[in-house]
Amino acid sequence: MIGLGAERLKRGIRDVVARWQLPRDVRREARRDAMGLPAGDPGIDAVVDAGIAWLATAQDRSASNDGGVARHYSPLSGWAPSYPETTGYIVPTMLSYAALRPDSPARSRAQRMLDWLVSIQLEDGAFQAGIITTRPRVACSFNTGQILLGLARGTAELGDAYRGAMVRAAEWMVAAQDPDGCWRRFPSPMVVPGEKSYDTHAAWGLLEAARVAPGARYDEAAMANLRWALTRQRPNGWMENCCLTQASEPLTHTLGYALRGLLEGYRYCGEAQLLAAARRTADGLLCALGPDGFLPGRLDAQWRGTVPWACLTGSVQVSQCWLMLYEELGERRYLEAAAAVNRYVRRTVRLDAPEETRGAVKGSFPFDGSYGRYQYPNWAVKFCVDSQLLERTIRGEEAGRRSPR
């Protein structure tokens, strides 16, 4: 016991020393977070506009300066190089915003992102894992599925200039799939080896490609993966093999990926078993939600939080899924839970900061949490904007129904 206590003391001293070696602005931000959430809520519209502006800055300031979106900004290292995977699914967010704000440059920015993605596609149709400077360039099924979301939306809204790249990526995804529907042969080298039930989010990419290219049977491959994923779901909704690194306590980020894929599968085909499965996972996540909108960043198989920090990316991914379930089922508990989470995340966003962090979303709250520590990831902003926009739409529709005719 004495030895264990001494080791804990030494570890604590090392942590304190490491914190004091951080730059002053990082220490200051960590201290702010340690005091708790700010009281003020900047509101949906302000956070959406600031988030889109930050994504534009991340595109312009990417260390690789290529038209893609910087993976993250960190006060420790500055702007990162562009990240193909997340640039792919940022495209639909930019196009959705452009539909609301036609006078914004969001549409042309989305086109620049797509042009860059087409230029870096591998010869076999796949896309690489990691940031653009990662070597060797390794084909990855999950990343290719995420980029398909952008290519399909680009093809639908911007024209056939992106159809060829979309078809090549979709055909590669189908060929890379195992007979049972799982993708095993082209994993990301950045995560622990093994099957991943969050690949349902890659299957969603195939569903979007199927909408643009009906008859190509991309939807059959997507549905095969979703049915495989159902075999990894426990009766209480918890998903096996659903984390980047710690399968016993997955991130809300990867649980959000898995849940979204199930919901998109249901929306595509209307299969009741997919909706039931999505509800099981969504209801399990509800069990972990705090009254203030705090959702622990990691959860065990009984839906208990295992960490004291929120993975803000996962929080808004889950809130958007709850909003989608509210749209489908009309159950207020989903709307109320999503609104609480969205409000929590909005309160972490600073609108009075320099452009590097104004409108950005931290990897974790507090800032020193283990997910994206001391970083502002681009996908955190993307998912935040998406969820806020959906809540805004729902609130607007409800207000319209209440107003006198």
* pLDDT at site 205: 98
Residue 2 pLDDT > 70, yes or no? Answer: no
Asked whether 384 and 316 are in contact (CB, 8 A), the reply is yes
Task: Please determine, for residue 198, whether its predicted confidence score (pLDDT) is greater than 50.
Answer: yes
pLDDT of residue 126: 98
Predicted pLDDT at 1: 44
**Does pLDDT of 9 surpass 60?**
no
Mean pLDDT of 47-67: 98
Dump pLDDT digits (tens) for 175-189: 999 999 999 999 999
pTM of the model: 0.94
How much of the chain exceeds pLDDT 90, in percent?
90
The whole-number pLDDT of residue 117 equals 98
35-399: CATH architecture: Alpha/alpha barrel (1.50)
Amino acid identity of 30? A
Residue 12 predicted with pLDDT over 60? no
